A and B are shown apart, each in its own frame.
Chain A
């Protein structure tokens, strides 16, 4: 009885493995219809990160008649391999996008398992002949929002509710703080961490704690409009994050960060379709897309760069810029936006000299940070107040 069971098990295993190796891996033929799978870390209804990726997916499907897409949502980090295999073996996908940092190693493993398929991993740094990386980063927008926050704070205390103390969030806080201090050198950026990507209750209590501590302008990294709502209830200005959050505080949302992942997806998929990118030439392909590529947008909602409710206040505050001379903050934001959107990018938030809050010189005079430095930065700039786990 027992040997029979073992025999059956061996036959079954042999069948499963045999079939999976027998499956003829067919490579995508440029110009033919393309099937693309997305692996999402959250639910598509989060109004944040995953929502933005899914909107981009739908735009791609509308734009390209030869494109078919499928997605899997709320995939736990660490289990992506299983879902990638499903997309490739069962759904027959030619390209798979994985949209969370934590999917990095699983995506690389899958890329090596399926050398004829194309993979793209968002926000990581590991690549392969058939796996590229991509990211639409907000640091320039945070800096621009920081300029406005510096003009709007009366208590000289600006607040930031952060998700996790990782380089991405720290970079955004630093850029925001640099903007704040460019306009109001006295201002401090008060920081609280919630250790969640999505937690309305944590975001609410963190915001209430910051209000109680006297902060009067709010920015954040969390996947719900909670911070905007709580600030608006107290009549305080804030900056939306990830999706347009204007509706949650029409009188109080000054501006914000909006992602346009479709810019990257459209470009990449068009190149796959044209045969420019194949499963053999992606080892050096990395989309690090910013304002000038149109992957990110500044605004309270698309098309509304700055909420007109705050125009007078922003025009009333002026700064002395060594190059631009005396300029009001409204014009300064517009000027900097124009400069950073231009291909030559004559300004950057992290323009040396930049010191961290322990007074170490981090970016020397006349230099900027490389993409690698930006994606691995752990330090806090001067003016940031509060805990900073992992501070070097």
Chain B
């Protein structure tokens, strides 16, 4: 097989596997930008996956499933929002509880749903004409689905909002210096609520992608720790949607290659590769000079109360 086919298959798989990572990472970037650390990504994802699957199964429409996944993810994130913003509880504990609650609840609700094939899953589409473009055609326009394109579009939109609009300034201000934002008349809690919900919606959608598009089936614990990769990717991205896309795709490429390269490289080594990559990047970021310039939102994990500072 030529090197070209190698690249095409690898990049095409990168898009397919990277999409749920990307969706959830974009959401978590917004959540953290507003100063809320949500470690409940895994829980919101699996709730989204369960909601999407059960809805798609009962209605026969995978698209309704994705919508349900997003809604349930958003609703589920409200628990964290209420605990950490309104009640000012410890965000780490609240987020971890959300993950545990999501894994447990979806497991109980999902009893009896395993082993059922979906009547219809999100279709893979091949754009006539476009797929004939050499090299890029088979990667981008063959066998991908609409959610893949939607997530790429979302990168552009979310990047633009964050850096080029007043809404983005408000989000960043709330995450960097909530007292200053408050004095400018921005409602800190409202912004934080909305950003947490955006994070939940996108995590839920990512879960839905897994259960009705990527591998249409429900199994307990099917997100398999993806939510934790998302937390790492958010840091890797310096809380920037564009870098988030790069990170999600890099991780996805390494993940796919860890199976593809097995005939030549030791599988134990390959298995560790994507995770080693994440750790090395995290170390580099926490030590580098970049850290000061592009570091975490200053008010991350800090609840805000007016007049306390």
Contacts and interface: CB of A to CB of B under 8 A. Distances in A.
Interface in A39-88: 43-47, 51
A163 B268 CA distance: 12
A211 to B, nearest CB: 9
A43 B107 contact: yes
A389 interface: yes
A366 B116 CA distance: 46
A243 B217 CA distance: 14
B271 interface: yes
B260 interface: yes
B256 A387 contact: no
B110 A387 contact: no
A229 B268 contact: no
Contact of B260 (A51, A212, A247, A387): A212
Interface in A234-251: 243, 247-248
Contacts of B271: 193, 195
Contacts of A195: 267-268, 271
Interface stretch (B190-198, B218-226, B287-295): B218-226
B217 A209 contact: no
A386 B263 contact: yes
Interface stretch (A118-126, A198-206, A345-353): A198-206
A226 B219 CA distance: 10
A354 B255 CA distance: 36
Interface in B19-39: none
Contact of B262 (A43, A192, A247): A192
B115 interface: yes
A47 B17 contact: no
B224 A226 contact: no
Contact of B115 (A199, A226, A247): A247
B17 A205 contact: yes
A202 B259 contact: yes
A363 interface: no
Nearest to A204: B215
Contacts, number: 105
Given A45-B107, A46-B220, A51 B259 contact: no
B9 A212 contact: yes
Nearest to B218: A45
A278 interface: no
Contacts of A205: 13, 17, 255-256, 258-259
B114 interface: yes
A45 B260 contact: no
B266 interface: yes
Contact of A201 (B113, B224, B260, B262): B224
A194 interface: yes
Contact of A229 (B216, B221, B259, B262): B216
Nearest to B10: A212
A349 B216 CA distance: 35
B13 A248 contact: no
B82 interface: no
Contacts of A224: 215, 217, 219, 222
Interface in A320-358: none
B262 A193 contact: yes
Interface in A187-224: 192-196, 198-202, 204-206, 208-209, 212-214, 224
Interface string B252-277: 00011011101100111001000000
Interface of B: 1, 5, 9, 13, 17, 107, 110-111, 113-117, 210, 214-217, 219-222, 224, 226, 255-256, 258-260, 262-263, 266-268, 271
Given A47-B219, A386-B262, 10 more contacts: A45-B114, A45-B219, A45-B220, A47-B114, A196-B224, A201-B210, A201-B215, A212-B260, A214-B1, A224-B217
8 contacts: A43-B221, A45-B110, A192-B267, A199-B224, A201-B210, A225-B217, A226-B215, A229-B215
